[in-house]
Chains A and B, each alone.
Chain A
Amino acid sequence: MGAGHAHNLYRAGDSPVHRLPPHCKLVAVVLFVLAVVATPRERFWAFGVYALLLAAVAAVGRVPLGYVLRRVVVEIPFVVFAFALPFLATGPKTEFLGLTVSHSGLLGAWNILAKGTLGVVASILLAATTPLRDLLLGMERLRMPQLLVQIMQFMLRYADVITGEMGRMRVARESRGFRARDVRQLPVVAKSAGALFIRSYERGERVHLAMLSRGYTGTMPVLLDVRASRAQWGAAALLPSAAALACAVAWFAGG
């Protein structure tokens, strides 16, 4: 379970975006998202600017549009909520596509759709151009507590193992004729969850023993030191500073 984790989130490549140090990209994405969230929702053009910025990053990083679109589906529950908003919110009514809907609800729906989608796309681009392991190293460089980074490393490394174990338990259940049809089958699902917990926990104990026997003292050795040059920070700052500029203009100059 060491190597060869082909996480389909990451798209291997060698573009300027791929080459940037992970912590620079993390900071850039978080600042970008904050700028987007802080933008007044009536300034429609600003969101166009943000979308263009992300499109530019995707183009430089050679992330195909179709890939991004396929992964945007995580957003769907909130899109449903956003579409309900114009009918739920109160306040002055307005005509939109032949329907009478709440004006502020319409704006609210737009707000969630625009900001939510921009945030999702920014995260997708980050994960598509940075290997997960490197992102964790980046978090460590950003002074995230060591213990937390270690926990995340373990989670990432074993998520596939545990998910695979769960998949095998499902196959075993179903090959014995089990099908979850309604609430009455819940105890079976819960017993599987219980068994999965015990297996995960015991695996954790074995992993810990294996680590101890290899000389673990509570910290992990740093094998790859990622440093960022001034130029790399500068390149990474392009996205959030452009977004911050758009945000500032949106606040002070109006639309």
Chain B
Amino acid sequence: MHVPDGFIDAPVSVALGVVAAGGVAVGLRGARRELDERTAPLAGLVSAFIFAVQMLNFPVASGTSGHLLGGTLAAILVGPYTGVLCMSVVLLMQAVFFADGGLSALGVNITVMGITTAAVGYGLFKLLAAVLPKTRRSLGAASFVAALVSVPVCAAVFTLVYAIGGTTDVPLSKVAGAMIGVHVLIGIGEALITAATVSSVLAVRPDLVYGARGLVRPLELRTGGAAGAAGVPGQAAAPSSAAQV
């Protein structure tokens, strides 16, 4: 749902451009805190990941297929600020180079798809993670709910923008109904794939999931040969530490 040029009128587009620029500025400062000097390469690679994963189509129903938006996924995996930054970069690249989403609507797109999804998705994820027991399954459930809610909320925010600066006079209730209705369905797909992706990363490299830092135990190297041998935390080296600097 990349908004093209001409869908939202000029004043609102410019105003949201300012909002988006502010959001990106906050993201830049926050990302430096999350990743320090590794920001450029890591955020760049994560952006490339989001870009690639948006091409990953999955079948929804009766021949149609959907693809991941990835805002919530990025926020949970790399942190909300870096997530906003990566989504904004992807949207900017898509608008400038691939003509996907209008240049004048870039502010709208970044505000709706980047900032809103990351803020809502990550906030909800942290809230649920704090309440639920600290297991991999419940973190998966938390990311499921976070992604499920973030997509219709993003549609609702778009409807709000449309109500202020829309250029067509389709009655608002119809737009809201269609947008939010469709996006509840998209949200289910997004939620399934987000939860499964977060769970699979948690299973292999829990240290990479920013949203779960301090919530999951580091992996242990189980030694002893016999099946069901207990871990030896003292001598165990987490497989992840080898790859870390």
Contact = CB atoms under 8 A, between A and B. Distances in A.
Interface of A: 9, 26, 29-30, 33-34, 36-38, 41, 71-72, 74-75, 77-78, 85, 88-91, 104-105, 107-109, 111-112, 114-116, 118-124, 126-127, 132, 135, 145, 147-148, 150-159, 161-163, 165-166, 180-183, 185-187, 189-198, 200-205, 207-209, 211, 218
Contact of A194 (B6, B55, B201): B201
Interface in B38-64: 38-49, 51-53, 55-56, 58-61
Determine the main DSSP class of A at the interface with B.
helix
A6 B194 CA distance: 32
A92 to B, nearest CB: 11
28 contacts: A9-B97, A74-B98, A74-B99, A75-B99, A78-B7, A85-B170, A88-B174, A112-B7, A115-B5, A118-B6, A122-B103, A127-B98, A135-B96, A152-B89, A155-B44, A155-B45, A155-B47, A157-B44, A166-B55, A185-B58, A186-B192, A190-B192, A194-B196, A194-B197, A196-B52, A197-B77, A197-B201, A204-B38
B193 interface: yes
Nearest to B169: A104
Interface string B184-201: 000001001111111111
Interface in B1-42: 1, 4-7, 9-10, 13-14, 24-25, 28, 31-32, 37-42
A14 B244 CA distance: 46
A112 B96 contact: no
Contacts of A209: 245
Interface residue range, chain B: 35 or more
B150 interface: no
A189 B4 contact: no
B75 interface: no
Most B C-beta atoms less than 10 A away, residue of A135, A182, A189: A189
B104 interface: yes
B205 interface: yes
Given A119-B104, A148-B24, A158-B48, 11 more contacts: A29-B103, A71-B99, A89-B170, A111-B168, A155-B44, A158-B44, A159-B52, A189-B193, A190-B195, A195-B200, A205-B41
Given A33-B104, A116-B102, A186-B192, A90 B44 contact: no
Given A108-B168, A186-B193, A75 B4 contact: yes
Given A183-B192, A204-B46, A166 B85 contact: no
Contact of B200 (A33, A156, A191): A191
A154 B41 contact: yes
Nearest to A219: B40
B92 interface: yes
